[in-house]
Structure 1
Amino acid sequence: MAANKNNPDATDWKILRELQQDARKTYKEIGETVGMTRPAVRERILRLEESGVITGYKAEIDTDALGRALHVMISFKFNSGQKYDKKPNDILIPILRSSSDVIHFWEIYGELDFLIEAAFSSKERMHRFLDDLRSYGFVRSHLIAMSMKGAVQEA
């Protein structure tokens, strides 16, 4: 029997690692790796989905192949002394959602307010986007030189 979402067992972790490597693997392929039958793997994956451990599947995109070679992580912090007509997040989040250059963003706690992943087709386009953000706060950009996928590991 599969463990609950707060305490996955060793087999759940093996299945999760397989899905992180390639979410398009068949139940049979995963079963061969983790030592289970296809129906048993299917049942485990369904339970992991229903419990909220697996929240979705996605396609990985090569930004270079799309002509967006400037892949950037952006650190952002609102200007603390600036007065806004709306809550700051109500201003920034629509800007980030509407930008075709933004891949993903996270609201975070600590020294910064947001981390933003974006990919640009030109330096000029990147410069315009960063200047727009600067009108709301501190911006630091980090050009991504290489990207590697990690995997969640059992604690």
Structure 2
Amino acid sequence: MPDEIDREILQLLREDGRRTVRDIAKRVDLTVAPVKRRIERLEETGIISGYTARIDTNKVDSELEAVVQLRVAGDLELEMILAFAEGIPEVTEVLTLAGDPDAIARIRAANIHDLQRVVNLLRTNGRVTGTKTLVVLNTWSRYG
């Protein structure tokens, strides 16, 4: 279980995954060696599962981004939704939720026709009883 210093380290890495160990050590008031060991332990235990680059795709290409709310018949099984979503390359993320809707899928599509095709694919899964598609106009994130 992470302690308060681990939580500070995690917060600093959330803000900037490229932050140096030396910078983190300075900010949490430790030397480099114990911070390096803490980060290695957080990685080994799976608390830190990887490092990614957050890319503003609007500056790279003209794809559409959308979120699709999914309502599912019966008990929601995360594995079922993930197995289905993994077969659709345009689905970039799936979040299962408590309440209504049951899940949200984040989608990147080449254009509106491609988005419609992907939404139709999601609807053809026998467990999906309804969808609501929301096109993203702009994004903001605390961590990037």
The residue number in structure 1 matching 2:139 is: 147
The residue number in structure 2 matching 1:134 is: 123
* Residue 92 (structure 2) aligned to one of 89, 103, 106: 103
In the TM superposition, residue 102 of structure 1 has moved relative to its aligned partner by 1.0
After TM superposition, the score normalised by the length of structure 2 is 0.78
Q: Structure 1, unaligned stretches of length 5 or more?
A: 81-86
Change (3 A) 1:12 1:123: same
- Number of equivalent positions: 138
The residue number in structure 1 matching 2:113 is: 124
Further displaced range: 49-58 or 67-76: 49-58
CA deviations 1:109-143 (Å, max 9, x no partner) are: 32222210111110000011112323442111122
In the TM superposition, residue 88 of structure 1 has moved relative to its aligned partner by 10
* Residue 11 (structure 2) aligned to one of 12, 17, 38: 17
Tell me if the contact between 2:72 and 2:102 (Cα under 8 Å) persists in the aligned partners: yes
How far apart, in 1, do the equivalents of 2:87 and 2:58 lie?
21
* Aligned-pair Cα RMSD in Å: 2.5
In the TM superposition, residue 66 of structure 1 has moved relative to its aligned partner by 4.7
In the TM superposition, residue 68 of structure 1 has moved relative to its aligned partner by 4.7
Q: Structure 2, unaligned stretches of length 5 or more?
A: none
1:148 partner letter: W
After TM superposition, the score normalised by the length of structure 1 is 0.74
